[in-house]
């Protein structure tokens, strides 16, 4: 049940940068609003960034196959450190540009490399769960810190500095791993793993709508939104190691199914509840991430062992293409009725689960 050495190194070096990132990243949509951007424009930023991420994922694949996952992780870390500096300016030009570069270039390169390093071994769900717990649990109170300080720019600067330090540490400590891939790819398996994304990303509320919804509809203050996201970080990471272990024992598909069902119901309850009941619903919604992420990532790896880097790059490509209309649709739907995005994503999640269950089985 313990993590591998590689997972431990990746988790520990991610903990401090994640702590600072979580203190402001959830408030980024609100920062964009302060800079004068509308929900539709903010949705455009997220859509463009995700589309760039999907396109760059194929370039990242070639770089990782040629250079190795460790080198890809280091290069991605440098890019993310620089992009955080751009966000730090709070400029109408550099802040959204830094966000787009971070999500569009740094994320696919570093994320694909990290995923390969974590998954290349036994007990994939367990290692993924441990990474989430080690890297994310220290950031439980980060959103509250960001809210109390009014999202101080120094928190963003700290993200840049600690990301660079973590990158240098990984370059010195991590072992080299050669990527070995077969020349062919099982596209049917890749499609099976992407089906859930097809439905869930057509209308997703998790990118930028929740903080805006929390303030405009529920009526939470900035500090209360910070508390809400502290609850989210706690729910996502506190039990991830346990649910990862449980998925390896009981089967990744079973745990994934349970997570989607609970998450969809909790999402709807959050949107229609108020006060303490809304907080409880949000906690359950967040908790399902610690169940679904380790199990879904392990499932994806198990059906694409011989082509993981290629398959994961294709996954990022397709999910990114779907996210472009998603963020634009969500921004538009929110302007019509703020409850519509929650309702449609819940239904989409359940439909996607039915389809992927039939194909995997």
The pTM of the full predicted model, rounded to 2 decimals, is 0.77
Q: Is the pLDDT of residue 73 over 90?
A: yes
The torsion angle over the Cα atoms of residues 267, 269, 272 and 275, rounded to 10 degrees, is -110
Q: In whole angstroms, how large is the CA radius of gyration of the chain? A: 19
Q: Is the pLDDT of residue 191 over 70?
A: no
pLDDT tens-digit profile of 33-42?
Answer: 889 998 888 8
How many whole angstroms separate alpha carbon 343 and alpha carbon 258?
19
- Of residues 242 and 1, more confidently modeled: 242
Q: Is the pLDDT of residue 239 over 70?
A: yes
How many whole angstroms separate alpha carbon 89 and alpha carbon 261?
41
Q: What is the DSSP string of 75-138?
A: HHHHHHHHHHHHHHT--TTHHHHHHHHIIIIIHHHHHHHHHHHHHSSS-HHHHHHHHHHHHHGG
- Of residues 296 and 99, more confidently modeled: 99
- Please give the pLDDT value at position 203: 41
Work out the average pLDDT over 15-21.
92
H or E element in which residue 298 lies = helix 276-302
- Please give the pLDDT value at position 171: 94
Q: Is the pLDDT of residue 177 over 80?
A: no
Q: Is the pLDDT of residue 105 over 90?
A: yes
pLDDT tens-digit profile of 113-153?
Answer: 998 899 887 788 889 889 989 998 888 878 878 888 888 89
Q: Is the pLDDT of residue 159 over 90?
A: yes
- Please give the pLDDT value at position 103: 92
pLDDT tens-digit profile of 308-337?
Answer: 888 788 777 777 777 667 767 777 878 888
User: What structural domains and CATH numbers belong to the chain?
Assistant: 5-360 (1.20.1250.20)
The SS3 assignment for 337 reads coil
- Please give the pLDDT value at position 172: 93
Q: Is the pLDDT of residue 163 over 90?
A: yes
pLDDT tens-digit profile of 255-301?
Answer: 888 888 888 888 788 777 777 777 777 777 777 778 888 888 887 78
Which of 229, 213, 236, 226 has the alpha carbon at shortest distance from 330? 213
- Please give the pLDDT value at position 100: 96
Kindly state the tokens that stand for 50: 């995700």
Work out the average pLDDT over 16-31.
88
């Amino acid at each position: 049940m313990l993590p591998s050495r590689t997972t431990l190194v990746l988790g520990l070096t991610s903990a401090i940068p994640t702590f600072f990132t979580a203190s402001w990243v959830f408030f980024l949509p609100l920062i964009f609003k302060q800079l004068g951007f509308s929900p539709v424009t903010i949705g455009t930023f997220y859509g463009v960034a995700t589309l760039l991420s999907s396109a760059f994922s194929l370039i990242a694949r070639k770089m990782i196959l040629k250079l190795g996952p460790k080198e890809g992780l280091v290069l991605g870390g440098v890019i993310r450190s620089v992009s955080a500096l751009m966000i730090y300016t709070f400029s109408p030009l550099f802040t959204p540009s830094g966000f787009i570069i971070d999500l569009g270039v740094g994320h696919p390169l570093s994320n694909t490399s990290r995923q390969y390093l974590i998954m290349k071994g036994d007990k994939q769900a367990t290692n993924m769960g441990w990474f989430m717990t080690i890297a994310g649990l220290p950031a439980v109170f980060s959103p509250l810190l960001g809210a109390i300080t009014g999202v101080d720019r120094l928190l963003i600067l700290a993200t840049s500095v600690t990301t660079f330090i973590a990158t240098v540490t990984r370059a010195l400590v991590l072992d080299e791993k050669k990527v070995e891939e077969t020349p062919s790819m099982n596209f049917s398996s890749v499609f099976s793993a992407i089906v859930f994304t097809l439905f869930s990303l057509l209308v997703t509320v998790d990118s930028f709508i929740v903080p805006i919804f929390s303030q405009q509809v529920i009526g939470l203050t900035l500090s209360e939104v910070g508390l809400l996201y502290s609850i989210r970080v706690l729910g996502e990471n506190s039990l991830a190691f346990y649910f990862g272990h449980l998925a390896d024992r009981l089967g990744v598909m079973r745990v994934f199914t349970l997570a989607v069902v609970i998450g969809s119901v909790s999402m709807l309850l959050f949107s229609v509840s108020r006060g303490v009941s809304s907080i409880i619903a949000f906690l359950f919604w967040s908790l399902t991430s610690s169940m679904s992420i380790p199990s879904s990532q392990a499932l994806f790896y198990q059906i694409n062992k011989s082509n993981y880097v290629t398959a994961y790059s294709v996954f990022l490509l397709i999910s990114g293409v779907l996210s472009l209309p998603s963020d634009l649709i969500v921004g538009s739907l929110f302007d019509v009725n703020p409850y519509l995005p929650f309702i449609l994503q819940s239904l989409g999640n359940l439909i996607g689960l039915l389809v992927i269950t039939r194909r995997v089985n």
